[in-house]
């Protein structure tokens, strides 16, 4: 462990203790703690801050993970393409369930993809990973750039095609959610894609994907499913 001015694990425990109730925390309170901790370390070099985030992740605690991913997101203006390697390591090593996956990928990791669309080629490879949360991440990580309308080099259908009949329901829900967000800016393209895949796409993914389409389009697509 490197010697930093702030012992981030100790400080996180101190801040979290202020909000603990019956060994549980509210997400909003954890984010308040994260904001206070970030103010103490924000002038540290970017890589040092990521190192400290990793110390938090090594604690294997939900609350520590929320703080780590939140601090990493606050540093998004300092991301480089090389940040991908660190974030991918975190995804594989520390994430274990859908909630960690979604928190990390719809904020910090998604912001990296929004800044560097060309990293999408590396994301596509996740579709072949054995860990379900990494496969889910392949879809969920695209949500941030799509919501911000900065996804020019990203083809969401590469992900949904690769994961079309995945054997884990959380992966199916993940790419369905991603398609839903894509459809908010590209409803016609999504409609065409769903029509082409109506017979092969699992119902859970299909229902997620059509959720934000207009009523008539939803009815028409549901009638064909």
pLDDT (tens digit, 9 = 90+) per residue, 63-91? Answer: 999 999 999 999 999 999 999 999 999 99
User: Quick check: 104 pLDDT over 80?
Assistant: yes
The residue behind tokens 């370390």 is 41
pLDDT of residue 6: 82
Return the exposure string of 174-204: e unless at least 16 CB atoms fall within 10 Å of the residue's CB, then b: bbbbbbbbbbeebeeebbebbeebeeebbee
pLDDT of residue 23: 67
Indicate the average pLDDT of the chain: 95
- Residue 178 region by backbone torsions, left for phi larger than 0, else alpha for psi between -120 and 50, else beta: alpha
- If pLDDT is split at 50, 70 and 90, which confidence band does 225 have? confident
Which domains are present in the chain?
A: 1-78 (no CATH), 83-225 (1.25.10.90)
Q: 24 forms bridges with which residues in the sheet?
A: 21
User: Quick check: 179 pLDDT over 60?
Assistant: yes
User: Quick check: 164 pLDDT over 80?
Assistant: yes
pLDDT of residue 19: 84
pLDDT of residue 215: 95
Average pLDDT over residues 103-109: 99
Average pLDDT over residues 126-138: 99
User: Quick check: 219 pLDDT over 80?
Assistant: yes
Average pLDDT over residues 118-141: 98
- Comparing 102 with 2, the larger pLDDT belongs to 102
User: Quick check: 20 pLDDT over 90?
Assistant: no
The residue behind tokens 């409803």 is 187
């Amino acid at each position: 462990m490197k010697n930093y001015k702030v012992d981030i694990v100790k400080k996180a425990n101190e801040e979290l203790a202020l909000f603990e109730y019956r060994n549980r925390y509210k997400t909003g309170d954890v984010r308040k703690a994260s904001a206070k901790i970030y103010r103490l370390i924000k002038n540290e070099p970017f890589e040092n801050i990521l190192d400290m985030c990793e110390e938090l992740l090594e604690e294997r605690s939900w609350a520590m993970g929320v703080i780590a991913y939140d601090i990493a997101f606050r540093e998004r203006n300092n991301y480089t393409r090389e940040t991908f390697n660190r974030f991918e390591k975190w995804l594989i090593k520390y994430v274990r369930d859908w909630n960690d996956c979604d928190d990390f990928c719809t904020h910090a990791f998604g912001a990296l993809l929004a800044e560097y669309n060309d990293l999408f080629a590396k994301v596509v490879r996740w579709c072949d990973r054995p860990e379900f949360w990494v496969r889910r991440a392949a879809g969920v990580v695209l949500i941030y750039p799509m919501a911000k309308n900065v996804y020019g080099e990203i083809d969401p259908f590469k992900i949904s095609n690769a994961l079309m009949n995945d054997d884990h329901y959380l992966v199916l829900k993940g790419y369905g959610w991603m398609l839903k967000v894509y459809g908010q800016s590209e409803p016609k393209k999504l409609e065409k894609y769903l029509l082409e895949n109506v017979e092969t796409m699992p119902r859970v993914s299909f229902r997620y994907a059509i959720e934000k389409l207009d009523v008539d389009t939803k009815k028409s697509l549901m009638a064909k499913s």
